[in-house]
Structure 1
Amino acid sequence: MIGCTVPLRRVRKHLFVSAVLAVITSSPLLAAKPDSVPEWVRTAAAQKLPAYTPETNAAILLEDTTYSVAPDGSAIEHYRSAIKILRPQGRDEAIVYVPFDKDTKILSLHVWSVGPDGHEYEVKDKEIVEFGYPGQGNLFEDIKFKAARAPGRDPGGVVAYEYEQRVLPYLTEKTWHFQSDTPRLHQAFTLELPPGYTYGTVWAHHEQTKSIDLEHQRWRWEMNDTPAIELQHVQMRPSEMALAGRMTVHYAPPGAPAASQGSWQSIGEWYQTLSKDRLIPTPEIAAKAKELTAGKTDFYDKTEAIAEFVQKQVRYFVIEMGIGGYQPHFAGDIFRNRYGDCKDKATLLAAMLSAVDIHAALVMVDTRRGVIDPDAPSIVGNHMIAAIEIPKGYSSPKLRSVVTAKTGRQYLIFDPTWDKTAFGQLEHNLQGSYGILMEGSNSQVIKFPLLAPELNTIRRTASFQLQPDGSLKGTVTEKRFGDVSEGRRTLYTSGDAKEQSDSLDHLLEQDFTTFKVSDFKVENAEALNKDLTTTFALNADRFGKVMGPLLMVRPRVLGSEGLYTEHKTRRIPIDMKETMQAIDDYDIELPAGYAVDEIPEPVKLDMGFAAYESSTQVKDNVLHYSRTYTVREVTLPADRYSDLQKLAGVIAADEQSSAVLKKK
Structure 2
Amino acid sequence: MLLLSVLLFCGPALAHEADQDTGTDPAIVIDRHIQHYVVEPSGAYLLTVDAAKTIVEQRAVQEHGQYYISYNKTLDEVVAIDAYTLKPDGRRVALRPDQIKDQQEAASTDAPMFQDTRLKIIVFPEVAAGDQLVVRYTVRRGTPLFPGHFEDLSSSPFYLNKNFVLVYDMPASMPLHADAVGFVPVPLSPRDVVPAGHRRYQWRYAGGGNQRLEADAVSYLDYGKRLAVSTFADYADFARAFRANTLPATGSAAVPSPAIAALARQLTAGLSDARARTLALSDWVRRNIRYVGVYIGPGGVVAHPAATVLDNRYGDCKDHAALLEAMLAAVGIGSTGALVNSGNAYQLPDTPTLGVFNHMITYVPSLDLYLDPTAESTMAGYLPAGILGKPALLLASGSFAMTPILQPERSRTTTWFDIGRDGRSRFKVSKTASGASAEPWRKTVRETRLAERDQFVRRMLQGLGQKGQGVFDAGKVDSPGKDGSDEYSLSVSGSSEHFLDLPGPSALATTYDVWGGLGEAVFTLGQEKERHQAFVCPAVDAEDETGFRLPKGVRVLALPKPTSLMHGGIHYQSSYARRGSAIVVKRRFTFRHGRATCTPDDYRAMQPALERIMRDLRSQVVVSGR
Q: TM-score, normalised by structure 2?
A: 0.83
SS at match of 2:342: coil
1:266 matches 2:237 = yes
Q: Give the conservation status (yes or no) of the 8 Å contact 1:84–1:159.
A: yes
Q: Report which stretch shifted further, 274-283 or 464-473.
A: 464-473
- Shift of residue 468, structure 1, vs aligned partner: 4.3
SS at match of 2:76: coil
Q: Give the conservation status (yes or no) of the 8 Å contact 1:193–1:218.
A: yes
How big is each residue's C-alpha offset from its partner over 1:151-177, in whole Å with a ceiling of 9 and x where there is no partner?
Answer: 343222111222222223333232241
* Counterpart Cα distance in 1 of 2:270 and 2:39: 56
SS at match of 2:322: helix
For 2:177, the equivalent position in structure 1 comes to 200
Q: Report which stretch shifted further, 347-356 or 312-321.
A: 312-321
How big is each residue's C-alpha offset from its partner over 1:51-75, in whole Å with a ceiling of 9 and x where there is no partner?
Answer: 9978533222211122222233322
- Shift of residue 374, structure 1, vs aligned partner: 6.0
For 2:388, the equivalent position in structure 1 comes to 431
Q: Quick one: percent identity of the two aligned structures?
A: 21
* Counterpart Cα distance in 1 of 2:205 and 2:433: 49
* Counterpart Cα distance in 2 of 1:122 and 1:360: 57
1:536 maps to which of 492, 513, 531: 492
For 1:220, the equivalent position in structure 2 comes to 202
For 2:535, the equivalent position in structure 1 comes to 574
1:604 maps to which of 542, 564, 584: 564
* Counterpart Cα distance in 2 of 1:10 and 1:385: 26
For 2:14, the equivalent position in structure 1 comes to none
1:449 matches 2:404 = yes
Query: Structure 2 unaligned runs (5+)?
Result: 11-19
How big is each residue's C-alpha offset from its partner over 1:236-261, in whole Å with a ceiling of 9 and x where there is no partner?
Answer: 3444555553222222xxxxxxxxx3
For 1:421, the equivalent position in structure 2 comes to 378
2:215 maps to which of 235, 247, 253: 235
For 1:655, the equivalent position in structure 2 comes to 617
- Shift of residue 150, structure 1, vs aligned partner: 2.2
For 1:502, the equivalent position in structure 2 comes to 455
Alpha-carbon spacing, 1:263–1:558, altered in 2? closer, same or farther (3 Å): closer
For 1:43, the equivalent position in structure 2 comes to none
How big is each residue's C-alpha offset from its partner over 1:588-624, in whole Å with a ceiling of 9 and x where there is no partner?
Answer: 3444445543210112344435443311122444422
- Shift of residue 386, structure 1, vs aligned partner: 1.0
SS at match of 2:203: strand
Alpha-carbon spacing, 1:499–1:229, altered in 2? closer, same or farther (3 Å): farther
1:103 matches 2:63 = no
Aligned length: 587
What one-letter code is carried by the residue in structure 1 that aligns with 2:174?
Y
What one-letter code is carried by the residue in structure 2 that aligns with 1:538?
G
Q: Give the conservation status (yes or no) of the 8 Å contact 1:115–1:151.
A: no
Q: Give the conservation status (yes or no) of the 8 Å contact 1:78–1:165.
A: yes
SS at match of 1:539: strand
Alpha-carbon spacing, 1:208–1:521, altered in 2? closer, same or farther (3 Å): closer
How big is each residue's C-alpha offset from its partner over 1:531-560, in whole Å with a ceiling of 9 and x where there is no partner?
Answer: 221123333343233353x45433445545
SS at match of 1:179: coil
How big is each residue's C-alpha offset from its partner over 1:393-444, in whole Å with a ceiling of 9 and x where there is no partner?
Answer: xxxxxxxxxxxxxxxxxx31111111111211111111122222211xx212
SS at match of 1:546: coil
1:79 matches 2:41 = no
Q: Report which stretch shifted further, 554-563 or 271-280.
A: 554-563
Query: Structure 1 unaligned runs (5+)?
Result: 1-7, 18-49, 252-260, 392-410
Alpha-carbon spacing, 1:76–1:484, altered in 2? closer, same or farther (3 Å): same
2:254 maps to which of 273, 279, 282: 279
1:67 matches 2:43 = no
What one-letter code is carried by the residue in structure 1 that aligns with 2:132?
V
What one-letter code is carried by the residue in structure 1 that aligns with 2:476?
E
Q: State how 1:286-365 maps to structure 2 within 5 Å.
A: 286-318=261-293, 320-322=295-297, 326-365=301-340
* Counterpart Cα distance in 2 of 1:414 and 1:590: 49
What one-letter code is carried by the residue in structure 2 that aligns with 1:613?
Q
* Counterpart Cα distance in 1 of 2:441 and 2:390: 25
* Counterpart Cα distance in 2 of 1:242 and 1:69: 27
For 1:388, the equivalent position in structure 2 comes to 364
* Counterpart Cα distance in 2 of 1:264 and 1:134: 30
Q: Give the conservation status (yes or no) of the 8 Å contact 1:116–1:152.
A: no
Alpha-carbon spacing, 1:10–1:628, altered in 2? closer, same or farther (3 Å): farther
Alpha-carbon spacing, 1:417–1:552, altered in 2? closer, same or farther (3 Å): same
What one-letter code is carried by the residue in structure 2 that aligns with 1:188?
V
- Shift of residue 107, structure 1, vs aligned partner: 3.0
For 1:628, the equivalent position in structure 2 comes to 588
For 1:545, the equivalent position in structure 2 comes to 501
* Counterpart Cα distance in 2 of 1:320 and 1:415: 18
Q: State how 1:95-134 maps to structure 2 within 5 Å.
A: 95-100=66-71, 101-123=73-95, 127-133=99-105
What one-letter code is carried by the residue in structure 2 that aligns with 1:368?
G
* Counterpart Cα distance in 2 of 1:599 and 1:351: 61
What one-letter code is carried by the residue in structure 2 that aligns with 1:509?
Q
* Counterpart Cα distance in 1 of 2:443 and 2:500: 34
SS at match of 2:184: coil
Alpha-carbon spacing, 1:296–1:68, altered in 2? closer, same or farther (3 Å): same
Q: Give the conservation status (yes or no) of the 8 Å contact 1:286–1:352.
A: yes
* Counterpart Cα distance in 1 of 2:212 and 2:602: 19
- Shift of residue 351, structure 1, vs aligned partner: 1.0
2:444 maps to which of 491, 495, 500: 491
Alpha-carbon spacing, 1:584–1:178, altered in 2? closer, same or farther (3 Å): closer
Q: Give the conservation status (yes or no) of the 8 Å contact 1:328–1:347.
A: yes
- Shift of residue 198, structure 1, vs aligned partner: 2.0
Alpha-carbon spacing, 1:173–1:536, altered in 2? closer, same or farther (3 Å): same
Q: Report which stretch shifted further, 185-194 or 83-92.
A: 83-92
Q: Give the conservation status (yes or no) of the 8 Å contact 1:555–1:616.
A: no
SS at match of 1:423: coil
SS at match of 2:361: strand
Alpha-carbon spacing, 1:323–1:627, altered in 2? closer, same or farther (3 Å): farther
Q: TM-score, normalised by structure 1?
A: 0.79
1:248 matches 2:228 = yes
How big is each residue's C-alpha offset from its partner over 1:239-284, in whole Å with a ceiling of 9 and x where there is no partner?
Answer: 4555553222222xxxxxxxxx331101110011123421111111
Q: Give the conservation status (yes or no) of the 8 Å contact 1:64–1:188.
A: yes
For 1:408, the equivalent position in structure 2 comes to none
SS at match of 2:176: strand
For 1:90, the equivalent position in structure 2 comes to 60
Q: Give the conservation status (yes or no) of the 8 Å contact 1:436–1:446.
A: yes
What one-letter code is carried by the residue in structure 1 that aligns with 2:283?
E
* Counterpart Cα distance in 1 of 2:117 and 2:23: 36
1:175 maps to which of 152, 177, 193: 152
- Shift of residue 498, structure 1, vs aligned partner: 3.4
SS at match of 1:384: strand
* Counterpart Cα distance in 1 of 2:326 and 2:199: 44
For 1:397, the equivalent position in structure 2 comes to none
For 1:616, the equivalent position in structure 2 comes to 576
